[in-house]
A = this chain, B = another copy of it.
């Protein structure tokens, strides 16, 4: 029944696969490293290294860093600055920036829906320099990197595929590297206050709210795309499926009955309206503080 469980986090895909397939050692095609940066901050690097790994995790070949820090959403100085430093160093590694590289930062999502507003909120804190280099070079350091940014909006409010807007602007402004920030769906609601994922595999705009569209990555857009994602919602269907899956397991339901239960879920899921999401009531605090952390991390990496 794992088709009802949706997550954008490689680290959760890995857990799901290990549990489903009863794999205790490493999954073939996957390499995983753990780092305890401090008592507060843990970093997991899941690397998908082959097609076999791609199939197992349902995600493309590449590196997926997951930063986990309890209470990251509270914005406390000490934890925040650790996370910012780590974001900066991971970005530097994944982007492989040369001194002259121009960077475009893209903030995906819908500003009007709090859990989807992370991307635009980050953009509002990025140090934009590309117009200064063009119009007032005398006022800035000569080795200032060119940084520009866009907030392309969402399909529902523009009517335009977000990937088309990004591609169009990218073709016109020819950045060397792209950073995309987006809100993600997790499987477990506890992740919403403590997790950031950074990967070098690009992004599928709109995937965060249930639609499935074109991936933006080096292949499709000709430029490396590093994605920073923060889980801010759980899909309602995921929560419901997960609960019943747990019930089946806990109560050792036999296979016949299991089929009935699955049929019931199939019948009932459409009742839970398409695209409904689960989010904590303090999501405003989560977005405010984590967007600031990410913006600081990006600014540190680019300047």
Contact = CB atoms under 8 A, between A and B. Distances in A.
Given A240-B243, A272-B189, A276-B281, A113 B114 contact: yes
Contact of A128 (B116, B156, B275): B156
A98 interface: no
Q: Give chain A's interface residue range (CB within 8 Å of chain B).
A: 35 or more
A146 B213 CA distance: 20
Given A131-B160, A168-B173, A236-B239, 10 more contacts: A123-B157, A128-B159, A150-B152, A151-B151, A165-B172, A167-B172, A192-B273, A240-B243, A243-B268, A275-B281
Given A167-B172, A236-B239, A280 B273 contact: yes
- In the complex this chain forms, how many copies of it are found? 4
Interface in A266-300: 268, 271-273, 275-285, 288
Nearest to A110: B284
A219 interface: no
Interface stretch (A14-22, A48-56, A87-95, A245-253): A245-253
Interface stretch (A30-38, A197-205, A256-264): A256-264
Contacts of A157: 123-124, 128, 149
A150 B160 CA distance: 8
A155 interface: yes
A129 B159 CA distance: 6
Interface string A93-129: 0000000000000000010111010000001100011
A276 B279 CA distance: 5
Contacts of A148: 158-160
